[in-house]
Copies of this chain bind each other. A is one copy, B any other.
Amino acid sequence: MGHLKTFRDLAGSTFTPVGKRKKSLSHWDNFKTVSWRKDAQSDYDEHTSVVMQDTKFAQVKHELMSWAIPAMTGFCTATSGALVEKSVEWFGAYRLGYCPGNYLYTTPENCPNWHAYEEHSWHGYIMFIAFTSLWATISATLTWAFAPLSRGSGIPEIKTVLGGFTFPEVLAGNTLVIKIIGLSLSVGAGLSCGKEGPLVHIACCWSNFWAKFSARYRDNEAKQRELLSCACAAGVAVAFGAPLGGVLFSLEEASTIFPTRTMLRAFFAASCAAMTLSWWNLSGNGKLTMFNEPFANPPHFAEYPVFIMLGIVGGCIGASFVHFNIMVMKARAPGTPFRKRCHIILEVFCIAFLTGVTSYSLLWTRVLSNTTIRAMFHDCRDATVDEHTYLLDICDDGEPVLTLKFCLLIALAGFLRYVQMIFTFGTGCAAGLFIPALLIGSCLGRIAGIGAYLFNAQWPFTPIGYIVHPGMYAMLGAAGVLGGVCRVTISLVVIMFELTGGLQLIVPFMIVCTLAKWVGDYFTIGIYDYIILVRRYPFLHEPDEVTYNTTAEDLMDEGVFCLHPALHTMTFLDGTAGTLDGLIDFFKNAKYGGFPLTQSTTDPTFLGYVHTDVISKVLDREKLAPFSNGSASVAFLDFMADEEKAQMSAEELRKVIDLSKYVDETVMTAVAKTPAVQLQSIFRNLGVRLILIRNKGNLVGIITKKAFIDHLEELHNPENSMMGTVKSSGGLQEALLPT
C-alpha cells in the first residue's frame, strides 16, 4: 500500500535537544524498552526458518527449549532454596551454640554434646550479638562489593523487568551468586527478614542464565519475559512450598503480560521446583507445606466479626509499615545527607547490632522467625506434632497458653519485629519481607484468638462443644498483615492455604485478604509499587483518574527527529562525500531506538518508522556483500517505488541499497485527542515501545513508553519530578541534516 520513496540527503548527524516538552530521560538510559510486538514477529520468523530447515532435530530442540528452560530454572531454584535453607539453619544455630566435633550439626537433638553459649552468663548474649552483627556485615560487604543490585527483595526490580524494560545487572551472574550467599547470611543472622522475595529474584537470575543457551531466547527480550514469568512462579513455589500460589503470584503481582502458554509453562516450572524440593526433603516428611496445621472443621459464623477485624487491623499495620519503611528508604537513598555520612555497610552493622541487642532477651525473637510462626500457628491439641523445645510454652498440657503475660510477651515480640523490619527491609543486604510480615500478623492473630477463646469461655457465642482455635486466628492475622503490606489477594490466599494446609479457611482467608487490600489501599499504595516509584524505575502502573483527563496532546514530545526517503547523493556536513561507513556510524551512534520516516522536509506525511538496530544490521551485511562500495564516495539508499526506479540508469541502480522492506509501516499511531487511558492500555496490553501521534496523515508528535511513564509521574507528583524540561519551539526536525 505504501508509496515509500528513496532515502533522503544523508549528511552529518548533529543533534540538538528540541521539542516543546522534550525532557532528559538520561536516568533511564540503561533501561531499554522491550517491544513485544516486534519480538513476537521476529520469534515467528525464526520459528518459520526452523520449520523450513526441516531437520527434525532442530525443530524438536526449538520446541523443547521453551520447556527445558523453565524445568532447569525450577530445578536450580529449588536446589538453591534448599542450600539457603540449610545454610540459614547453620548460621542461625551458631548464634546460640555449636556442636564440638561435628560443626555441621545445628540442633541439640542431633548433637549429643551440643554446646550452648547461654549456659554461661552474659556470654550467650554477647556471642548472639556478635554473630548476628558478623553475619549481617559479611552479607552487606559482599553485596556492596560484588553485586549492589542483589540487596533487598528484588521483586520491584523483577516487576520492572517484566513490565518491559531491560535491566541487565539485576539478572547477572554475580547478582545470583551474591544473592544466594548474602541471603543465607542475612536470614541466618536472625535479622527481621525472610528469604521468600529474594528467592523469586534468584529464580529469575537462573532463568536468565539458562536462557543464554537457547538461540531462540537469547536475543528475544519479549520471549525472555515469558521465561521470567515462569521463574517467578518457581521462586514462590520454592519459597513457600506453594507451586500453585507461585503461578498466581506471577500472574497477579509480578507479570504485566501473561498469556495462556506462559501460564502452562509457569505451571510446569513450579511443578518441577516443587518436585525437586520434595526430593531434597527438607522437612523430613516429604511434605512441602511449611507450617502444616490443618483444622478439621470450618470456623463458626460467629467468629467472622473477629476475622473482619483482623483484616482491617492487618491492612492498617501493613499500610503503616509501608509508610514508615518508605520514609526510612527516602532518608537513606543515595545522595541524601544521611547516606553521605554513613556507609551502607556501617548501616547494616548498626541494624544487625541493634537487632541482636533487642532480640536476645525474648524467646520469640531470639529464634529464627520460621520457628516462631510455626509456634503461633500451633493448635496444641494435635499431639502428633513435635514441638521445638524452645517453644513448648505456647502450650500448657495440650491446651493453648492464655495468660495475659503471654499475650504481652508475644505483642512485644511482634512489635520488636515490626520496628526491626521497618529498618531492615531495603537496607544493604538481601532481605525479603514475607516472613516478618507473617510473624507480626501471627502474633496479632494469636492475641485476638486468645481473646476470642476467653470471651467464648465467659460469654459463649459459639455452639456448645465448639472450640475456638487461637492458631487459626494467627494464620488469618498473618494473611492480613502480609496482604496489607503487599496488596496481593488471590495469590496470597492460595499461598496461605498451601502453606498451612488450611483448606477450611479459604473463605476467611479471602475476606481477610480483600479487607486488608481495601484498607491498605485507602492509605498508601503497595510496598513494591511504592519502591518502584521511589527508586524511579520505569514502570507502567494501572490507569487512574489522571489518565482519563489527559490526552495524547498533553503528553507527546513535539520535537521529533525524522528521516526522509528522498533520493540524493550522500554528503556530510563538512562537505566530504558520504560513505556507507559514515551512514553505519550514524545509525550505530544514534541516541534513539529509531526514527520516524516522513515524506520530506516540508511535507510531514507519515510513512513509517525505521528501527536503528535493524538498519544497522542490514547496512553491515551490505558492506560485506561482494558488490559493496563501503568506502566509495556515493551510496544510495532506497525506499522507493518501482516507477521511480525505472527512471534511473543501470549504474545508479547498482548503487541502490533497497531498505524499503525494513521500514516498519505498522507502528502504532494515534491522534492527538486520544485519552491517556487508551495510550496506557496500548502500551500495557499490546506491549509496544512507542506511539506516533498523527493529525490526519501528518506526523505531529511521538510518545515513547518511558516518556509516557515520566509524564504521568510528573502529573501525579508535579513537585516530585527531578527531570529538567527543555523548552523549545517544537516541530519536526531533521535527523540527518543536509549540508
Contacts and interface: CB of A to CB of B under 8 A. Distances in A.
Interface of A: 1-2, 37, 40-41, 44, 243-244, 247-248, 252, 259-260, 263-264, 267-268, 270-271, 274-275, 278-279, 285-289, 294, 297-298, 301, 489-490, 493-494, 497-498, 501, 503-504, 506-507, 510-511, 514, 517, 542, 548, 553, 605-607, 665-666, 669-675, 677-678, 681-682, 685-686, 694-698, 700
A604 to B, nearest CB: 11
**Count of identical protomers in the assembly:** 2
Contact of A287 (B41, B298, B694): B298
Given A267-B489, A270-B510, 14 more contacts: A1-B553, A1-B695, A41-B677, A244-B490, A244-B493, A267-B490, A271-B514, A274-B507, A278-B507, A286-B297, A605-B696, A607-B696, A678-B686, A697-B697
B548 A271 contact: no
Contacts of A297: 285-287
Nearest to A278: B298
20 contacts: A1-B671, A40-B677, A44-B548, A248-B248, A248-B490, A259-B542, A260-B542, A263-B490, A264-B489, A271-B510, A271-B514, A286-B297, A286-B298, A287-B504, A288-B298, A288-B506, A294-B503, A497-B503, A669-B669, A681-B686
A507 B243 contact: yes
Contacts of A681: 37, 685-686
Q: Interface SS of chain A: helix, strand, loop or mixed?
A: helix
Residue from the set A1, A275, A289, A681 with the largest chain B CB neighbour count within 10 Å: A1
Nearest to A279: B301
Contacts of A279: 301
Contacts of A44: 548, 677
A675 B278 CA distance: 46
B514 A678 contact: no
A268 B511 CA distance: 8
A674 B669 CA distance: 12
A517 B264 contact: yes
Contact of A666 (B607, B674, B686): B674
A665 B694 CA distance: 11
A2 B252 CA distance: 40
Contact of A506 (B286, B498, B677): B498
B666 A675 contact: yes
- Which one of A279, A606, A673 has the greatest number of beta carbons of chain B within 10 Å? A673
A342 B695 CA distance: 61
Nearest to A682: B686
Given A298-B286, A490-B247, A696-B605, A41 B267 contact: no
A260 B517 CA distance: 12
Contacts of A275: 507
B504 A503 contact: no
Per CB-CB distance, the 3 closest pairs between chain A and chain B, nearest first, are A697-B697, A685-B685, A696-B697
B695 A698 contact: no
Given A669-B669, A670-B666, A697-B605, A243 B510 contact: yes
A665 B675 contact: no
A720 B19 CA distance: 54
Contacts of A493: 244
A232 B103 CA distance: 57
